[in-house]
Amino acid sequence: MVRRVQPGFPVLALGLVLLLSACLLAPGKFVSDLTVRKDGTFAFTYSGQLVILPLTEKPRAETPFEPQACRAEDSGEDRECTPAEIEEQKTDWKEAQAARIENDKQQAESMKAFFGGIDPSDPKAAAELADRLRRQTGWNKVDYAGDGVFDVEFAISGRLDHDFVFPTLERFPLANAFVQVGLRKDGTVRIDAPGFGPPEGATALGDLAQSAATENRPGSRKEGPPVIDGRFSIRTDAAILANNTDEGPRPDAAGQILSWSVTPRIHAAPTALLRLAP
């Protein structure tokens, strides 16, 4: 009997695409500032890179058939394959190619649903996404820099009579938040910045899916999206009840400032609890 080394390729399960939806967006280099006044008014800005992860994936290159080594069952040593064995390998390769193509089609349809009808593999996808963002309030600059990276400037202000989440993308059924501001009935405001934290929870699952999607793919993007490198600050004249900065609050023209250096070495996602004036 002869044991052949079967040709292989990564087939990303549809379930991993669903995990990827948990982390569609990522920051690159950025500066972000949130001002919360004790009277309930707020202002938020984000300036820098916004990475839409599925757009960082390069098309998979077609790989030609290459015969694999055959090994003798008794000695385990490589030997030349017979024509029949090579033909059997070629048949297996064709079936695997067909399965991969079908799998890619299913992934594309799933990602199109996540993107509100836009096919992320379409060369025009980035321009269409940029146009959608420019139509939304707060997006003052949206320029596509290539490889899934957008240079953006976002600014918005108002009153905290409702929760606030950044970013939101029109017609995206699922997108992960960089910053969340939640107003409680007791007059406190909780601020969380999960998108500026370490890769854990849903973000880690998204990273796993992205890694599986690119592993061993000829022609796929290997270097990944830009490394997160930014600063997030909260300025307030409200009472600071809790925070997880290393230095604590410092004096600021607005009253006090909490600041986090956001890099891959950050130990926890920024968080703070404020109390507004009665």
Q: How many CA atoms lie within 13 A of 147 on its CB side?
A: 9
Is the confidence at residue 97, as pLDDT, over 90?
no
Give yes or no for residue 144 having a pLDDT over 60.
Answer: yes
Distance CA 70, CA 2 (A): 7
Helix H or strand E segment including 105:
helix 83-114
Strand 239-243 versus strand 41-52 pairing type: unpaired
What is Dmax (Cα atoms) for the chain?
Answer: 85
pLDDT in the model for residue 267? 92
Q: Do 115 and 125 contact (CB within 8 A), yes or no?
A: yes
Mean pLDDT lowest among 1-10, 70-79, 142-151: 1-10
- pLDDT band at residue 101 under the 50/70/90 scheme: confident
pLDDT at res. 240:
98
More confident residue, 57 or 48: 48
Q: What is the dihedral of CA 238, 241, 242, 248, to 10 degrees?
A: 60
Task: Verify cis geometry, omega within 30 degrees of 0, for the bond prior to 167.
Answer: yes
Average pLDDT score over residue span 180-195 = 96
Residue type, 114: F
Q: State the DSSP code for 186.
A: T
What is the pTM (predicted TM-score) of this model? Answer: 0.73
Query: Which tokens sit at 120?
Result: 């992320």
C-alpha 166, offset from chain centre = 14
The residue whose two tokens read 């890694």 is 211
225 confidence band (pLDDT: 50, 70, 90): confident
| Residue length of the chain | 278
> Over the stretch 7-30, which tens digit does the pLDDT of each residue have?
333 334 334 444 444 578 899 999
Structure tokens given for 81? 């394959």
Fold held by 24-58+123-278: Immunoglobulin-like (2.60.40)
Helix spans in the chain (H) = 14-20, 83-114, 125-135, 202-214
Cβ 59 vs Cβ 261: under 8 Å:
no
Mean of the per-residue pLDDT values for the chain? 81
| Continuous segment of H or E residues that includes residue 258 | strand 255-262
Q: Name the least confident of 20-34, 110-124, 254-268.
A: 110-124
Residue 201 confidence (pLDDT) above 60: no
CA neighbor of 146 nearest in space, from 226, 32, 230? 226
Contact 34, 179 (CB under 8 A): yes
d(CA 78, CA 239): 73
What is the pLDDT confidence band of residue 108, given thresholds at 50, 70 and 90?
A: low
